[in-house]
Amino acid sequence: MAALRATRQMLQTIAGHGWMSYSSKPAQNLHVGKPGAGFSFELTDEQKEFQATARKFAVEEIIPVAAQYDRTGEYPVPLIKRAWELGLMNSHIPESCEELAYGCTGVQTAIEANSLGSQINGLNIYFQQMPVIIAGNEHQQKKYLGRMTEEPIMCAYCVTEPGAGSDVAGIKTKAEKKGDEYVINGQKMWITNGGKANWYFLLARTNPDPKAPASKAFTGFIVEADSPGIQIGRKEMNMGQRCSDTRGIVFEDVRVPKENVLIGEGAGFKIAMGAFDKTRPPVAAGAVGLAKRALDEATRYALERKTFGKPIVEHQAVSFMLAEMAMKVELARMAYQRAAWEVDAGRRNTYYASIAKAFAGDIANQVAADAVQIFGGNGFNTEYPVEKLMRDAKIYQIYEGTAQIQRMIIAREHNILHRQHARTPKPLPTP
């Protein structure tokens, strides 16, 4: 218990020093805003200790059982409990996501998925928690986030539907106000932690006018998972990240008190979009963690495997592949660090968050595929780790906004900036 208390105290200290602390104010003690100082991605001693804890947990406790969870698709309850004990379920540092994903992205996603709804918890709590963190009032945060620091409970982010994924404005789930309650009807799909969550962040249309702008048509709700009318579908067996609990959920006349509305009616779309800016850097960090694991596995194999009388790493064709893989990993890491740094500096990071997410997702797939190639026939076999990494990598180009959606966002932000300065001879600032 003493160790647990110490870990929690360390987390509070980390939040106070910034680095993805998700405050609306600029983080303290950061080297930002000083001309000539450049970017500083150096972590504090406390943050480095936290990073080391995540890496140790991944190497010693996740990697040894990752293949078994991949085969069975079983939800990693023991790992989640252990992560909570270590304080990793309350992480706000992208590096911790990278280290956890180094072990198994399925486990990382199961934990990180807790954050799109809130974000006092982590492994992949970033998604589920985030709306409550950025939009919840004091009572909502205390009730739903506070208890997540007391026990390893989960939450889920219910936005995606069978007919609406990247097009969030196309969701059909409706919420009708009746007295002091809202009655929700609709169907959600591909919900991470769908069958394990204690509560959901849910986005629903509250304005029946189809011409109403998205910025005013949707409302964000906190929905208790045991509410009458909720029907949880079967666990989906996906291509990769198989121990993540992914399900469809039907809401039929589900009653939610008005006290569970975030900010107010019509604010849901802005909340959801704001959450993505905060969660995409940790997702990118997870992709980098997977890529780094693939690079390390490929390098070890290349040092041991011999052809034509020498290790294959000494063949230029293979060594150049490893060099390219290393370049991609390092550049993707810089991308998510820049996006996180922008948050700590108190600036809007939409542009950099999308760059980080798109680039890291792409390189995770490229590096994992190259690792399989370096392993040759062994790479195609389930007895070796890289085929799983290749399968796990694909989702990084899909969830949290597809690779194509990220490029749309980047192009939009880029073009807006250039239009604004079309008649200005001064150098263009970054978005």
Residues labelled as active-site residues: 400
Token duo for residue 211? 């011409």
Cα–Cα distance, 222 to 212 (Å, whole number) = 23
The candidate with the shortest Cα–Cα distance to 221, out of 155, 154, 283, 280, is: 155
From first CA to last CA, the distance across the chain in angstroms is 46
Specify whether the CB–CB gap between 366 and 318 falls below 8 A: no
Please give the C-alpha separations between residue 209 and each of 203, 205, 212, 214, 261, in angstroms, as whole numbers.
Answer: 16, 10, 5, 11, 20
Specify whether the CB–CB gap between 335 and 351 falls below 8 A: no
Residue 89 DSSP code: B
DSSP 374-403: HHGGGGGSTTSTHHHHHHHHGGGGTTTS-H
CB-based burial, 83-118: b 16+ in 10 Å, e otherwise: bbebbbbbbbbbbbbbbbbbbbbbbbbbbbbbbbbb
